[in-house]
Amino acid sequence: MEEERLVQGQVEIFRQLFAFADSMALKCAVELGIADIIHRNGRPMTLHQIAAELPATSPDIGCLLRIMRLLVRKHMFVQHDPPPGDGINHQPEFGLTPASRWLVKDGEHSLAPMVLMQNHPSALAPWHCFSKCVQEGGVAFKKAHGLDIWEYGAVNPEFNQLFNSAMACTNKIIMKAVIAKYEHGFNRLSSLVDVGGGTGAAIAEIVKACPHLKGINLDLPHVVATAPEYQGITHVGGDMFVEIPKADAVFMKWILHDWSDDHCIKILKQCRKAIPHDNGKVVIVDAVLQSNVTEDAWEDTRMAFDVTMIAHASGGKERTEVEWRKLLKDGGFNHYNIISLPSLPSLIEVFPN
C-alpha cells in the first residue's frame, strides 16, 4: 500500500515536471497553424495532408505525428482511426475539438496570440527567477531582462506587438461576457475611460454596444502609438499614475492585478479624481480568487495567472474578495458589487460613496 502511494507520488512529480511539454506542443501547433489548416479544409485531415499545407519544403512527418499524438491525448485535436481490416491502407485523420477551435487565427475569437505571447522566450525567462524572488523579493521580469515588462515593450517592438495582440484577443472573448452581463451599467453613462486599455479593443466593444458613449482609451504612449482607429474612441498616451482623463466612469481590465497594493491605491486615487465626486464609478474586470472553492473550472487558471503575475507584473497578484475589499477601501472606494462572469475574471463595480 505504502509502495503504491509512493509510485503514485512519483507519477505526480513526473506529470508536474513535464507540464511545460503540453505548452510547448500547443505553441508548436499554433506556430505551424495546424488548427487553421484543418479549419480551412472543412473536415479532418491525414498527417500527410496537413504536412502538405505547412510552410516547409520537407516536413518531418514523424516529428509532427509525435506532437499531434500528445495534443490528441490532451484533447486539443481528435484522431479518427480508419475502420479496421477494410483492406485499404487508410491513414488516421485529425480534426478540431472545442479546444482547438480557439486556436484558429482568423476565427472571430482566437486565443492563438495569447499562446504565442505566454510561450515567447522573453515571457518565459522571468519564470526562471522565482526562487530569487522568494529569497530577495523584487520583480522577476526585471531580474531576467533588466527592465520591467512595460519598459521592455517600449524598447522591443516585436514583444510590444505580441503582448498587445495577446491582450486584444482575450479582450474580444471576455468583453462578450462583460457586455452580456453589464450593458445596462454602461448604457447609463455618457463617457467612459479605459485605463490601461492597451490598443483599445475592450472600449471599442463597449462603444459598439452603446454607441452614444464617448470612449477614451488611456495607455502608455508606445502602446497607443500602435492602436487602430475606432469609431467613437479617442486614444490618449499617458501615465495612469500621473493623470487619468475625466469621464463619468473608469473601466480597468487586467490592470490592478499587475500592481502591488501600494501602486493600486495610487491608481484608485487617480480614478477618484477622474470621475464625478457624487455619482462616479469604477468598473474593474479582474479575477476574484475563490480560495476555498475547487470545483470552479477556471480556478486552476486563476491560480496560474496569480503566479504569472510573479513572472510578468510589477508586484501584482490575483486577489480574494477579502483582499479586494481592503484594497478598494484603502483606495477610497467604500462600496462594491462583484458580478461573476462565465470567464476567468469577474466584474467588480466600485463606488466611492
Ligand X SMILES: C[S@@+](CC[C@H](N)C(=O)[O-])C[C@H]1O[C@@H](n2cnc3c(N)ncnc32)[C@H](O)[C@@H]1O
| 222 catalytically annotated | no
| Least distance from ligand X to the Cβ atom of residue 235, Å | 12
Q: Is 197 helix (H, G, I), strand (E, B) or coil?
A: coil
Q: Which residue has the cell 495607455?
A: 219
Instruction: Give the nearer residue to ligand X in terms of CB position, either 167 or 347.
Output: 167
| Least distance from ligand X to the Cβ atom of residue 5, Å | 41
| Least distance from ligand X to the Cβ atom of residue 63, Å | 35
Which DSSP symbol is given to 90?
P
What whole-number distance in Å separates Cα of residue 289 and Cα of residue 296? 10
User: What Rg value do the Cα atoms of the chain yield, rounded?
Assistant: 23
Instruction: Work out the angle between the directed axes of helices 19-32 and 34-41 (0-180°, nearest 10).
Output: 50
Closest residue to ligand X in the complex (CB): 196
| Least distance from ligand X to the Cβ atom of residue 196, Å | 3
| Least distance from ligand X to the Cβ atom of residue 239, Å | 4
Q: Is 22 helix (H, G, I), strand (E, B) or coil?
A: helix
Burial of 257 (0-12, 13-18, 19+ CB in 10 A): buried
Instruction: Give the nearer residue to ligand X in terms of CB position, either 111 or 202.
Output: 202
What whole-number distance in Å separates Cα of residue 220 and Cα of residue 239? 6
Q: Which residue has the cell 506587438?
A: 161
Q: Which residue has the cell 531576467?
A: 144
Instruction: Give the nearer residue to ligand X in terms of CB position, either 226 or 320.
Output: 226
Residue of 257, 277, 312, 335 with catalytic role = 257
- Dihedral angle at the C-alpha atoms of 115, 119, 120, 123, nearest 10 degrees? 110
What whole-number distance in Å separates Cα of residue 121 and Cα of residue 342? 31
Q: Which residues bind ligand X (CB under 6 A)?
A: 150, 167, 171, 196-198, 202, 218-220, 223, 239-241, 253-255, 258
| Least distance from ligand X to the Cβ atom of residue 197, Å | 5
Q: What are phi and psi of 342, to 5 degrees?
A: -80, 60
- Sheet containing 93-96: order of strands: 45-46, 93-96, 77-80
Instruction: Give the nearer residue to ligand X in terms of CB position, either 112 or 202.
Output: 202
- What residues act catalytically? 257
